[in-house]
């Protein structure tokens, strides 16, 4: 029996977030340069996105490039940016075929101009797609995002457009990059690392965390299905007791 047949389609996480980790180690294990792992990670992205669409997951957010990644060797960063431009361009047709809307979060203005233009072009082209929203976290840092939101609200208070006592969780959430999308119910991290790594710190407050030793280039839709099956076995209590839920 296929894994997908074990999944309850009425109990899907609406939003799945993934930390795609292990590209460098995967390449090193094959005696290749790190960029070889990033190149092969594209196949994992494509298959995972198509698996999410097949299931009916409405939001998929991928940690593609962190703000801290700018500190990596210059050659690797340049190769990653070139790969990003090429991949977005090549995958636009696949996104359209699968009804996937592309979105991006992070300090996008820090991206190279060519990369930013290609990203915006594909975002515009896919803007009317409805099957799934694929969000790329690029030059992203959750602490940066939270700081920016706090600064935005502080300016509104200073200018008399917002009263401090009116700042609620919903108001703060609306100032984040992820405004207008639900918080992730499931966060997956590959490569056997057990960290959140400055990723969606506010949004993951009640997410179920799933860690797999599989390196990202080897990740496929079946691995996504396994993570969702595991998610569906968990009891999500949100501070209540099991008795209250039942």
pLDDT in tens, 29-60: 999 999 899 999 999 999 999 999 999 999 99
47 noted as active-site residue: no
Q: Given this model, what pLDDT does residue 31 score?
A: 96
Backbone angles phi, psi at 59, to 5 degrees: -135, 130
Residue 2 lies in a domain: no
Residue 244 lies in a domain: no
Domain harbouring 210, CATH code: 3.40.1180.10
Q: What is the pLDDT of residues 90-110, one digit of tens each?
A: 999 999 999 999 999 999 999
Residue 194 lies in a domain: yes
| Catalytic residue of the set 2, 8, 10, 21 | 21
Q: What is the reported pTM?
A: 0.94
Residue 67 belongs to domain spanning: 12-141+184-231
Residue 107 lies in a domain: yes
| Residue 160: pLDDT over 70 | yes
Q: Given this model, what pLDDT does residue 51 score?
A: 97
Q: Which of the four pLDDT bands, split at 50, 70 and 90, describes residue 246?
A: low
Residue 243 lies in a domain: no
Is residue 9 within 8 Å of 57, Cβ to Cβ?
A: no
113 noted as active-site residue: no
Q: Given this model, what pLDDT does residue 235 score?
A: 85
| Residue 244: pLDDT over 70 | no
Residue 123 lies in a domain: yes
Three-state DSSP class for 121?
A: helix
Q: Given this model, what pLDDT does residue 78 score?
A: 87
- The structural domain count of the chain equals 1
Q: What share of residues in the chain are helix, strand, coil (percent, to 5)?
A: 50, 15, 35
| Residue 2: pLDDT over 60 | yes
Residue 82 lies in a domain: yes
| Catalytic residue of the set 47, 69, 129, 183 | 69
**Of the given ranges (5-9, 45-49, 76-80, 228-232), which has the lowest mean pLDDT?**
76-80
Query: Which residues on adjacent β-strands are paired with residue 65?
Result: 138
Q: Given this model, what pLDDT does residue 240 score?
A: 62
What is the Cα–Cα distance from 68 to 66, expressed in whole angstroms?
A: 5
Residues 6+ apart with CB under 8 A from 55: 4, 7, 9, 12, 224, 225, 228
Residue 154 lies in a domain: no
Average pLDDT, rounded, for the chain = 94
Strands across the sheet containing 59-66: 100-105, 132-140, 59-66, 15-19, 186-189, 208-211
């Amino acid at each position: 029996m296929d894994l997908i047949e074990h999944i309850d389609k009425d109990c899907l996480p609406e939003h799945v977030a993934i930390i795609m980790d292990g590209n460098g180690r995967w390449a090193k294990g094959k005696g290749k340069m790190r960029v070889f792992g990033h190149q092969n990670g594209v196949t994992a992205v494509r298959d995972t996105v198509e698996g999410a669409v097949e299931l009916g997951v409405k939001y998929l957010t991928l940690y593609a490039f962190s703000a801290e990644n700018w500190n990596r060797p210059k050659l690797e960063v340049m190769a990653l940016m070139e790969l990003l431009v090429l991949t977005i361009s090549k995958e636009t047709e696949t996104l359209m075929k699968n009804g996937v809307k592309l979105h991006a979060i992070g300090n996008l203005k820090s991206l190279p101009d060519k990369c930013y233009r290609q990203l915006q072009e594909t975002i515009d082209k896919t803007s009317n797609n409805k099957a799934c929203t694929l969000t790329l976290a690029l030059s992203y840092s959750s602490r940066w995002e939270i700081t920016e939101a706090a600064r935005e609200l502080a300016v509104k208070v200073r200018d008399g457009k917002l009263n401090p006592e009116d700042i609620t969780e919903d108001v703060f959430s609306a100032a984040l990059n992820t405004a207008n999308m639900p918080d992730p119910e499931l966060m997956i991290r590959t490569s056997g690392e057990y960290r959140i790594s400055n990723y969606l710190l506010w949004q993951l407050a009640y997410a179920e965390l799933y860690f797999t030793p599989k390196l990202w280039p080897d990740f496929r839709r079946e691995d996504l299905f396994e993570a969702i099956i595991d998610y569906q076995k968990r009891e999500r209590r949100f501070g209540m007791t099991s008795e209250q839920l039942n």
